[in-house]
A and B are shown apart, each in its own frame.
Chain A
């Protein structure tokens, strides 16, 4: 079986002491940063990106994957213990998780989050291994027109799933596309909108913009609210870490459902972890015999979204590894990291560097296992970390981000640019624009332009090529359908309801 030989190859790579170490460090550091309230997954990955530069490509990607899961898990810890979601994916976890913590059941809540995540991670790893190869073959049938249409579909997905106004989300994507145009033109090499600033000749660094609009902007926004944020930290000692038999029986169907839902939503471009956790929570509430328990410490309300977001986080690697298209902002950062190491993600990587792809897939599973092993005993430390007041934490984060950006290119201008984008991000937040679609647009911009150009060149300037090739036409049709659905009032109301409900 090809599948087993691939997985064996992967585990062979991932189980070397060096890579195990990197995976462990990544997961630990990721959790450490992810636990800090106000720093989401994207900011964490962006911040920690530079520490992987000195590593060989496989090691660097393994460590980044570790950081990613660590950050996700760290986010859930914060939600359960302090009612502050470290990131968007764990917003729903706060609803029941924090209630459980208040009832003195923080231990089981944390444990079930870890167990659910681990189970979801196992399933998703197998799914990636199974789907990876066939999807790569499919990817080879893709021409420029199909790629372009697929990216349009991905962006539309991101719009539909973003919260708030559809119009504003599209505007953010287009702004991102526009920002990605800065720098040299791929074909002619002409300098575009760079104003003869040498640092802009290569374009705006993705990590720079990400750190600005997510890192710095978040800090500034948090300062608005007063540094002493209202922190309902659960003070009592966390005892009884392990869930009871009843907890396990209650939560295992929820974990199963969350995993399935998350895996599916993760594969879809633009979907990803956020919507998966919302959807899983809503589903649990819908099918529960007694929905009123939700929001009052129902263990299913922790188990389902946590499993779903982890499954989605993992399966979102599928479009990245097979098609080279990042489905969300975190994956976009991964692309950035890969490019820095000279790897162009896409179907070729799967064939030319199988040890890299399968090594990473195997290390995802190992990373999940490590999270469960290291985090349960370390909960006490994370709690102590949460007691560090924000007035001391935010200057430290500023310095860390600044050093991080500087070390990417050793360019002071990058730091200034990130600062500027921090202010832009602050403005965007104040006007209710979401920065995540902007980031996605920025990453997909060059890819989209290239494929659009190529498609039109091949079709000799005929724009109908996107509609006459069957695969491309299907993708465009799905995108158009989604957009119509998103604008239709009935669905909009429902969609808003989901978000409102989970935020209140």
Chain B
């Protein structure tokens, strides 16, 4: 299921003193998230007396996460661990693009166009796509969804572009 660490790039971009890059980077990223959350909740009211303000709990959890992130990063420094795994760009890129395109087009263009377009974009996510069958399946799926969601399930989804509807 997961890539074995041994197959990861042998030449690590990490400095030598980092023995478990996977943990180190993970921990540092969590610390960054925690710092960001601390900053984002800095404008909120803190404790007044013994009752919590709006900002108390977020700051409490941020500090906790900061500590945990640091601990994970330290584990990455001091103990031998897995290398960074290789990232692929094709799958993530096209799946994200498909999701983005769906989100942007569903309102103005309606379900039919938006679903079909996202289907084709996400199909780009793998080199193994065969276009004829993909298009056939895409058309069938779009038709199925157009019947299933608005009619069978009664969800308020618009099917066609807004400017086509009088």
Contact = CB atoms under 8 A, between A and B. Distances in A.
Same assembly = yes
Interface string A177-198: 1100100010110101101000
Interface in B84-98: 84-85, 87-88, 90-92, 95-96, 98
A407 B115 CA distance: 13
Contact of A422 (B41, B53, B95): B95
Interface stretch (A3-11, A46-54, A307-315, A350-358): A46-54
A181 B61 contact: yes
A449 B145 contact: no
A178 B153 contact: no
Contact of B85 (A396, A430, A453): A430
Contact of A220 (B40, B65, B75, B95): B95
Interface in B127-166: 128-130, 133-134, 137-138, 141, 145, 149, 153-157
Given A398-B99, A413-B103, A178 B118 contact: no
Contacts of B14: none
A178 B96 contact: no
Contacts of A142: none
Contact of A399 (B37, B119, B154): B119
A195 B49 CA distance: 28
B68 A407 contact: no
A223 B125 contact: yes
B12 interface: no
Interface stretch (A104-112, A163-171, A255-263, A329-337): A163-171
Interface in B62-118: 62, 64-65, 68-69, 71-72, 75, 82, 84-85, 87-88, 90-92, 95-96, 98-100, 102-104, 106-107, 111, 115, 118
A193 B122 contact: no
A426 interface: yes
B153 to A, nearest CB: 5
Interface string A39-77: 000000000001101100000000000000000000000
Nearest to A185: B54
A219 interface: yes
A185 B53 CA distance: 9
B28 to A, nearest CB: 10
Contact of A398 (B29, B68, B95, B155): B95
Nearest to B105: A412
A199 to B, nearest CB: 11
Interface in A108-124: none
Given A171-B69, A402-B118, A419-B100, A391 B57 contact: no
A178 B62 CA distance: 7
Contact of A395 (B33, B107, B122): B122
B76 to A, nearest CB: 10
Instruction: Give the contact-size bracket for chain A.
Output: 35 or more
B17 interface: no
Nearest to A462: B50
Contact of B156 (A167, A181, A410): A410
B37 A178 contact: yes
Interface stretch (A15-23, A224-232, A374-382, A486-494): A224-232
A133 B38 CA distance: 43
B30 interface: yes
B67 to A, nearest CB: 9
A181 B54 CA distance: 10
A385 interface: no
Contacts, number: 204
Contacts of B50: 456-457, 460-462
B128 A181 contact: no
A310 to B, nearest CB: 24
A429 B2 CA distance: 9
B118 A224 contact: no
Interface string A199-238: 0000000000000000010011001101110000000000
Contacts of A462: 50
A497 B95 CA distance: 36
A165 B98 CA distance: 34
Q: Could you say which interface size class chain B belongs to? A: 35 or more
B123 interface: yes
Interface centre among A167, A177, A181, A416 (most CB of B within 10 A): A181
Contact of A188 (B45, B138, B154): B45
Given A391-B129, A402-B99, A403-B111, A457 B51 contact: yes
B71 A192 contact: no
A415 B153 contact: no
A62 to B, nearest CB: 16
A266 to B, nearest CB: 26
Contacts of B122: 394-395, 398-399
Contacts of A456: 50-52
Contact of B95 (A190, A216, A407, A452): A216
B134 A407 contact: no
Given A449-B57, A461-B49, A195 B82 contact: no
Contacts of A223: 88, 90-92, 95, 125-126
16 contacts: A54-B153, A174-B65, A187-B52, A187-B54, A188-B54, A223-B126, A391-B129, A415-B106, A416-B99, A422-B96, A449-B57, A456-B51, A456-B52, A457-B50, A460-B50, A461-B51
Interface of B: 2, 22-23, 25-27, 29-30, 33-34, 37, 40-41, 44-45, 49-55, 57-58, 61-62, 64-65, 68-69, 71-72, 75, 82, 84-85, 87-88, 90-92, 95-96, 98-100, 102-104, 106-107, 111, 115, 118-120, 122-123, 125-126, 128-130, 133-134, 137-138, 141, 145, 149, 153-157
- Among all A-B residue pairs, the 6 with the closest Cβ atoms: A461-B50, A223-B91, A419-B99, A431-B26, A190-B54, A415-B103
Interface of A: 50-51, 53-54, 165, 167-168, 170-171, 174-175, 177-178, 181, 185, 187-188, 190, 192-193, 195, 216, 219-220, 223-224, 226-228, 391-392, 394-396, 398-400, 402-403, 406-407, 410, 412-413, 415-416, 418-419, 422-423, 426-427, 429-433, 449, 452-453, 456-457, 460-462
